[in-house]
Structure formats: structure tokens, C-alpha cells
Amino acid sequence: MAREKPPVVRLHELKPGQTADVFALLAEKVRNLTRDGKPFYSCKFKDNRRTVGCVLWADSPLFTDCEKAWRPGTIYKVRCTFSEHERYGPQIEVRQIREVQDEDRAAGLNEGEFFDRSRFDPAAMFADLRGLAEAELRDAPLRALVVGLLDTHAAALKQIPASPRPFYPFPGGWLEHVLNVTRNVVWLADAYIARFPEMTPPLNRDLVVAGAILHDIGRAAELAAGPPGQPAEPTVPGRLLGHIQLGRDLIRDAARSVPDLNPELVLLLDHIVLTHLTLPEWGSPRLPMIPEVLILHHADDLDAKYELYARHLTRDAADGPFTDRDPVVGKPLLKRRGV
């Protein structure tokens, strides 16, 4: 009697102990060595709602195929058994694997399920952000600086994520995040200017809006967009310096070519970029010393964390009222409630 084929199941729908055929993108393949010096591969497969780990040891019958033929960024049909490891999270044991074929579409293959991207069109988001700069920045030289930096790095900004891993980690993520932060900052700045009219010196609205648009401009120099399905990779300057220092350098270099730009504004804008993370352990080389940083920091932090929560709640496939523990969120979230 012929052995019955396992069902075709979406990767994010697999249950612990289940053996099934799945379509999955090979997102990562890293060669490592055991303590005894034996090679093994640590791989990650994913769809748009779950990422699973897979380890191929040197004595695995698939080891040579993995080493020579498995290509990150490629979608495979995988026969596997799914498990949940207490420490390492979702895992699969691969039993058979091959690249997908055209006829797999009849069995449910949809390439769009494997490539994360922003929900919004990058060109439209860039136009909206540039429009905010034109409309909200009243100081003409400062406006010229901000718009000039956006235009210079437009191609990269439409492709890169907001961060390599934690939040908005997909093409278009930088624009989605910075556009949200800037819109919130405009509202918050106006609200606090109205509530504290006596503050001396007054909150500089242009400064905080320019800081919102440019606080992560260094990502354009720090990250290089990867091929479809692959994370952005740090550039050499990105590894050596990071996006905060690179952002300050981009601003200082561009400021030299803007006539009549107030040097004090540039200095304070530098300070905002350098300190918007607020704490050394979060990456800020200096502590914030002006109130404009407070508004930007909390708008930035809120948007980053909210996207993390929203993505985790939307994509979690766990049973029960709580999500699985996400390693970035650091805890499970309540997803089943009546209000």
C-alpha cells in the first residue's frame, strides 16, 4: 500500500507534532561549528506570519544539499515536522525539500505570502513626507536642508526598513515609520506650545518637526536593501559607526551647501539626532538637554512599539487567549478579549 502524502498546510498554521508539506521562504542560512569543530547549518524558513528555525547537522542526509544548493531568498516546498522549543521557539525538522514549481500554484502557492512590505506605496509615502516638510517648516533654509536630504536619498529611503530587525523591518518601513512620527510630532508640538506659552525659550516647532523627519536619516547610509525576502544588510560605515553618527554626518555635510542656514539651528538639530534615543544603553552618545527631544523620543518610541504589537497580534497563530512569546516584544500579548 502506498504511503499517504501529508496535507499541504500554510507554515503559520502548523501545530506542534504535525507533519505536513508547506511552502516556505528560506530567509537565512548560516554555517556554524560545534564545539568539536563539526560543521552545521542554522536556517530560518518563513511565510508572512511565522518564522521557524531549522538545524542541519553534518550527519544529516540533507546536509550536502543544504550546503551546495539551498539559496536564501528562494521559496521551497518542504515536508517537515513542526515543534515548539522552550528556548528556541518554533522549529521544523526537514524531511524532504525542493524548489517550488509552477504547478504548485494549484496546491496553494502564493508568492505574495512570503515577502514582507509596507502596506502603503513607498512613492506616495515619500510624497506625503516631502509635502509635510514643505508645509510645516517655516524657516526657509531649514526647509531647504530637510527637503534636500530627502531628495538626495529618495531611492534608498523608499526601499529600506525602519530598522534591520525589530520594528517596521520591511521595504518601505523607514517611510511608514518616519511619516507616522512626523505627523504625531506636528500635533504634539502644537499642543504643548499652546499649553506652555510662558516657557522660555519657547518650544521651537520647526526644530522638532525637522528632527522628526531626519532623526533616522542615517539609515540611508547604514543599510543596503536586500533582495526580495532578505533583510537589509549593514554597510561598512553602518557597521563601524551606526545610523545616529551617520545621520549627524549627513546633516552636517548637507548644511554646508545651504545659504543663510542658522548655525545654531544646525547644532540643535545635531543634538536631537544624537540624543533622540535618550539613553546610552539604547544608543544615544549624549543625554537630551532640550525639550524638543522629549516630544520626538516619545513619538518615535510609541510608533516603533505599536507596530511591534500590531504585527505580533495580527500574525500570531498560537492557540489560547495569549500570543506566543515574541523575542522582540519580550512577552506574550492578550489577543482574545470581548471589548
The conformation of residue 322, written as its DSSP 8-state character, comes to B
Dihedral angle, C-alpha 269, 270, 271, 275, nearest 10 °:
110
Q: Which of 44-53, 132-141, 220-229 has the highest average model confidence (pLDDT)?
A: 132-141
- In 3D space, the residue among 131, 289, 129, 269 whose CA is nearest the CA of residue 210 turns out to be 269
Query: For residue 112, is pLDDT > 80?
Result: no
The one-letter code for the residue type at 281 is E
Average pLDDT, the chain: 93
Cβ neighbours for 43, distance < 8 A, ≥ 6 positions apart? 26, 28, 29, 30, 53, 54, 55, 56, 66, 70
Please compute the mean of the pLDDT values over residues 236-265 and round it to a whole number: 96
Query: For residue 127, is pLDDT > 90?
Result: yes
The per-residue DSSP string of 180-223 comes to: HHHHHHHHHHHHHHHH-TT-SSPP-HHHHHHHHHHTTTTHHHHE
Q: CB of 73 within 8 A of CB of 26? A: yes
Question: For residue 3, what pLDDT band results from cuts at 50, 70 and 90?
Answer: low
Q: CB of 130 within 8 A of CB of 179? A: no
Q: How far is residue 298's CA from residue 20's CA, in Å, rounded to a whole number? A: 45
Q: Is the pTM here over 0.85, yes or no? A: no
Question: For residue 35, what pLDDT band results from cuts at 50, 70 and 90?
Answer: very high
Given 3-state DSSP classes, what are the helix, strand and coil percentages for the chain, each rounded to the nearest 5? 45, 15, 40
Angle at 255 between CA 296 and CA 178, to 5 degrees: 30
Query: For residue 269, is pLDDT > 80?
Result: yes
- pLDDT given for residue 2 in this prediction: 53
Query: For residue 228, is pLDDT > 70?
Result: no
Please compute the mean of the pLDDT values over residues 196-203 and round it to a whole number: 96
- Kindly state the percentage of the chain with pLDDT values over 70: 98
Backbone angles phi, psi at 116, to 5 degrees: -70, 145
Domains in the chain with CATH codes: 11-113 (2.40.50.140), 122-313 (1.10.3210)
Q: How far is residue 122's CA from residue 128's CA, in Å, rounded to a whole number? A: 10
Residue found under cell 502548523:
14
Cα 170 to the chain's mean position, in Å? 5
- pLDDT given for residue 322 in this prediction: 92
Question: For residue 64, what pLDDT band results from cuts at 50, 70 and 90?
Answer: very high
Query: For residue 229, is pLDDT > 70?
Result: no
Query: For residue 48, is pLDDT > 70?
Result: yes
Cβ neighbours for 240, distance < 8 A, ≥ 6 positions apart? none
Angle at 292 between CA 212 and CA 168, to 5 degrees: 30
Question: For residue 15, what pLDDT band results from cuts at 50, 70 and 90?
Answer: very high
Q: How far is residue 157's CA from residue 213's CA, in Å, rounded to a whole number? A: 12
Q: How far is residue 132's CA from residue 273's CA, in Å, rounded to a whole number? A: 19
Residue found under cell 540611508:
220
Please compute the mean of the pLDDT values over residues 212-239 and round it to a whole number: 90
Please compute the mean of the pLDDT values over residues 239-268 and round it to a whole number: 96
